[in-house]
Structure 1
Amino acid sequence: MTDLPALPLAYGVPVLRALMRSVPEDFQVDELPAFEASGEGEHLLLDIRKRGANTVAVARQLAQWAGVPQMGVSYAGQKDRHAVTTQRFSVHLPKRVAPDLALLESDEVHVLASTWHNRKLQRGALAGNRFRLVLREVRGERPAIDERLQAIAARGLPNWFGEQRFGRDGGNVPAALAMFAGRRVRKDQRSMFLSAARSALFNRVLAARVEQGNWDGALEGEVWMLDGSRSVFGPEPMSEALAERLARFDIHPSGPLWGAGELRATGAALELEQAALADEQALALRAGLEQAGLKQERRALRLRPALMQHAWLQDDMLELSFALPPGCYATAVLHELGEVSEAPHPQAT
C-alpha cells in the first residue's frame, strides 16, 4: 500500500454511491484513431474489439498468429481488461502476407477491420477515447446527480491521473522510490515507475489547486496550455483576451510533469507548486526523476469531457457517455460523482 493522499472533490460533497464493471459491457471504450491508413506499406493495421482481454495479451496473441517477434506488434495505448474495448494494433509483415484473420476470432477477440500502412503504430497515436459506462446499484438523489453531471459538462473537472497509473494498491510510487534508492528493475517497470512518480507529483499540485478553488482559474504567474495540444505559453499578465480564451476552453492552467530544469511558473503559481512538493517523499520523487534524465514538462490542470450525456436506464442504473483526449481518465469523471466501486468479478486463472 502507498500513502498517496486522497484526492479532493472540486464540486463538494459526493452525490452518489454505485458499482461499475458488473459485466464487461458496462465499461465500453472506443479508441479514436489519429490518422487514416495509407493503404500501402508492410504494417498491417488491425482494428480489434476485445472483451475481458488484456491489451498486452492480445498483442502477444497477434505476434504468435503472425509468426513475428513481440516487438513487431504495436498499439497506441493500453485498454482496460474488464471491459469491451476497440483499439488499433499494427503488425509488421515485411512480405505483406497475412495469415487468415479468422484464426484470431474468439470470445475475447474480434477483428473489425484490417488495412495496410507504411509506418508502425506509435504509442500515443490516437485522437482520444470514447466511453460508455453503466453504473449499477446507484444510491443518491437523482436531482443532485443530474445537477452534478450538468455542471461537469459545462465547467469541466480536474484532470487527475487515474488510479490505474499507480498500480495495484498504489504500489508503483513506493516501487519508484525503491528504484531511485538503487533497486534494480526491468526496463518496462522502470518506465512505469517513472510515470507513476511524475503523476503523483502532478496530482499533489492539482489537489492544492482544487483545495484553493482555483483549478480552472488563473493565478499570478500562470503557465497556459493550449487545448488539445502540448504547447504552452506564459507566464503573462491576465487580460480580457486570456479570460475569454479560458472561458471557452481554448486554454487551460497547467501543472508540472517533473523533471530536470526550472519550473516555468512564477509568482503565486510557482509558490503553490513549490509548497505542494516540499515534503520528504515529494523531494525524493523529484530528485529521482531528475537523475533519471526527465525534463520539466506541463499538463493541463483542467479537463472538459466532450459529447457528455447521461440517461437513467432504471431507477438505480445510470448510463454515462463522453469522449476524452489522450492521457485522460474516465475515473476522473467518476471521482467527482462520489464513491464508484468495482463490482466483484472472478479473478483470472
Structure 2
Amino acid sequence: MSDPSRPGDWPRATEADFGPPGPGEFRGTPEDFVVEEILGFVPEGEGEHLWLWVEKRGLTTLEAVRHLAKASDVAPRAVGYAGMKDRIAVTRQWLSVHLPGRPAPEGLAERLAGCGVRVLEQARHPRKLKRGVHRANRFSLRITGAALQQDLEERWAWLCQHGVPNLFGPQRFGPAGRNLARAHALLARGWRKRDDREGMLLSAARSYLFNELAAMRLTDDNWQRLVGGDVAMLDGTASQFGVETPDAELEARALRLDLHPTGVLWGVGDSLATGEAARYESAVAERHATLCRGLEQAGVRMARRALRMRLDQPRLTREQDGARLDFQLPRGSFATAVLRELIAHPNLTLSAEA
C-alpha cells in the first residue's frame, strides 16, 4: 500500500498482462479533455430555480458557481450543481440559481460569457440542483506519446472486457497530495467544520482509504470478482446485497460486468461486509487508524462504492499524432483512473494543479 504523503501509487489492473504502460500526455489543451454531464432527466419548465446548461473552459465548477452567483446578485449557496468538473477541460453541466419571483437577470448570458462560462440552454425547475443527482458523465479525451506505439488497442480492449478499477483520481487529493496531508493533520487533532467547510478534507481521507482497500484487492487479483462476505452492487445502480459465498451464477454475472464487488467508504455505521471481505477492511483500518478514527469522530456516515467501473459506449479512434478515447462513466468515477491504465504520466500519480 502507498505512503499517505504520496497518494496515487496504486497497482494497475493491466500490468499483469501487459506490464507498465509507456509514457503519454493528456490534457495538453482544454479541448483534449471534454466532459459532458448526463443528468438523466430534464427541468420541468417552471419554478423558482433557473437551470442553466453551460459550457465552461479553464474554470473549476466552484469558480463558475461564484460567477453565476455574482451575475445573479445572490449568495453562492443559492446556486446548485450536480458534480464537480475539471478546470483544464471543456465541460458541459447544469447549474441552478434560486430566483423566486424574479426573471433571469438582464444580460446574464453575456456577463457569464465574459468569465468563460457559455450558456447553451436555460429552463425553470421547482427545485435546486443537488449534488450527485446526475446519472453519469461522458468523456472525450485525446492522448499522445510513446504509449500509443505499444499495445494501446490491446489494453483498451482488456479494460472494455474486464472493467476498470474504480479508484478516486489524484485530483481528489489536491496538488502534490497536499489535501491528504492536511486531512491527516486535521483528523489527528479532531475535525471541525470551520477548518473544512466544504468537507473537502474528509472526502480526501475517505477516498484514500478506499483506494488503499482497492489496492489490496488489486494485488490479490480479486478486485473484479466476489469473495466470501462481499457486498455486491448492481451495475449502474446503487442497489446492494450481501454475498456470503459466491456461487456460479453470481460469478458469471460479475464476469459479464452485471455486478461488482464493493469497498467501504469509511465512517460511522456497519460496513455490511463479513468474512474475507471484512478482513480486507480491517487491515486498512489497522494500518490507517488515525484517519478511520477521525472520520468516525467527525460523524461521517459509512457508505459503499463499487471496486470496479464499466466503460459504457467505449470507442478508441486513432488520430494524427494521437488517439481519442470516448466513454461514459457512472457519477463519481474518474476518467483519470482509466487513463492511468493506458499511459504513464506524473499527474496520474501525484496530482498537479487541476
Q: Decide which of 242, 256, 265 is 1:257's aligned counterpart.
A: 265
For the pair 1:164 / 2:167, whether they are aligned, the reply is no
The one-letter code sitting in structure 2 at the alignment partner of 1:322 is F
Q: Decide which of 215, 229, 237 is 1:229's aligned counterpart.
A: 237
Aligned pairs for 1:279-318 within 5 A? 279=287, 282-314=288-320, 316-318=321-323
Taking a change above 3 Å as real, the CA distance of residues 10 and 33 of structure 1, as seen in their structure-2 partners, is same
Q: CA separation in 2, counterparts of 1:183 and 1:91? A: 31
For the pair 1:154 / 2:145, whether they are aligned, the reply is no
The one-letter code sitting in structure 2 at the alignment partner of 1:230 is A
* Aligned match of 1:319: 324
Secondary structure in structure 2 of the residue aligned to 1:272:
helix
8 A Cα contact 1:216 1:252, kept in partner: yes
8 A Cα contact 2:24 2:148, kept in partner: no
Q: Decide which of 222, 232, 235 is 1:214's aligned counterpart.
A: 222
Q: Decide which of 129, 133, 142 is 2:141's aligned counterpart.
A: 133
TM-score with structure 1 setting the length: 0.92
- Alpha-carbon offset, residue 34 of structure 1: 2.9
- Alpha-carbon offset, residue 190 of structure 1: 5.8
Q: CA separation in 2, counterparts of 1:193 and 1:30? A: 26
Aligned pairs for 1:194-205 within 5 A? 194-205=202-213
- Alpha-carbon offset, residue 167 of structure 1: 1.0
The one-letter code sitting in structure 1 at the alignment partner of 2:311 is P
Identity %: 43
Q: Decide which of 7, 10, 14 is 1:11's aligned counterpart.
A: 14
Q: CA separation in 2, counterparts of 1:106 and 1:57? A: 13
* Aligned match of 1:67: 73
For the pair 1:192 / 2:175, whether they are aligned, the reply is no
Secondary structure in structure 1 of the residue aligned to 2:345:
strand
Which residues of structure 1 form unaligned runs of 5+?
none
Q: Decide which of 324, 333, 336 is 2:338's aligned counterpart.
A: 333
- Alpha-carbon offset, residue 227 of structure 1: 1.6
Q: CA separation in 2, counterparts of 1:112 and 1:291? A: 44
Taking a change above 3 Å as real, the CA distance of residues 243 and 308 of structure 1, as seen in their structure-2 partners, is same
- Alpha-carbon offset, residue 5 of structure 1: 6.3
* Aligned match of 1:29: 35
Q: CA separation in 2, counterparts of 1:263 and 1:120? A: 31
* Aligned match of 1:46: 52
The one-letter code sitting in structure 2 at the alignment partner of 1:329 is F
Which range is displaced more, 237-246 or 52-61?
Answer: 237-246
For the pair 1:119 / 2:127, whether they are aligned, the reply is yes
Q: CA separation in 2, counterparts of 1:107 and 1:120? A: 23
Per-residue Cα deviation, 1:168-193 (whole angstroms, up to 9, x for no partner): 11112221122121475636546111
The one-letter code sitting in structure 1 at the alignment partner of 2:124 is W
- Alpha-carbon offset, residue 328 of structure 1: 0.2
Q: CA separation in 1, counterparts of 2:129 and 2:272? A: 33
* Aligned match of 1:108: 116
TM-score with structure 2 setting the length: 0.91
Which residues of structure 2 form unaligned runs of 5+?
none
Per-residue Cα deviation, 1:286-323 (whole angstroms, up to 9, x for no partner): 10011111232211001111111111112x31111111
* Aligned match of 1:91: 97
8 A Cα contact 2:163 2:257, kept in partner: no
8 A Cα contact 2:271 2:304, kept in partner: no
Cα RMSD for the two superposed structures: 2.1
Secondary structure in structure 2 of the residue aligned to 1:14:
coil
The one-letter code sitting in structure 1 at the alignment partner of 2:240 is V
8 A Cα contact 2:79 2:97, kept in partner: yes
Q: CA separation in 2, counterparts of 1:16 and 1:189? A: 40
Q: CA separation in 2, counterparts of 1:15 and 1:146? A: 12
Taking a change above 3 Å as real, the CA distance of residues 84 and 97 of structure 1, as seen in their structure-2 partners, is same
Taking a change above 3 Å as real, the CA distance of residues 208 and 120 of structure 1, as seen in their structure-2 partners, is same
8 A Cα contact 1:19 1:342, kept in partner: no
Secondary structure in structure 1 of the residue aligned to 2:237:
coil
Secondary structure in structure 2 of the residue aligned to 1:339:
coil
For the pair 1:277 / 2:282, whether they are aligned, the reply is no
8 A Cα contact 1:20 1:342, kept in partner: no
Q: CA separation in 1, counterparts of 2:198 and 2:90? A: 29
* Aligned match of 2:184: 177
Q: CA separation in 1, counterparts of 2:68 and 2:115? A: 15
Secondary structure in structure 1 of the residue aligned to 2:273:
coil
Secondary structure in structure 1 of the residue aligned to 2:168:
coil
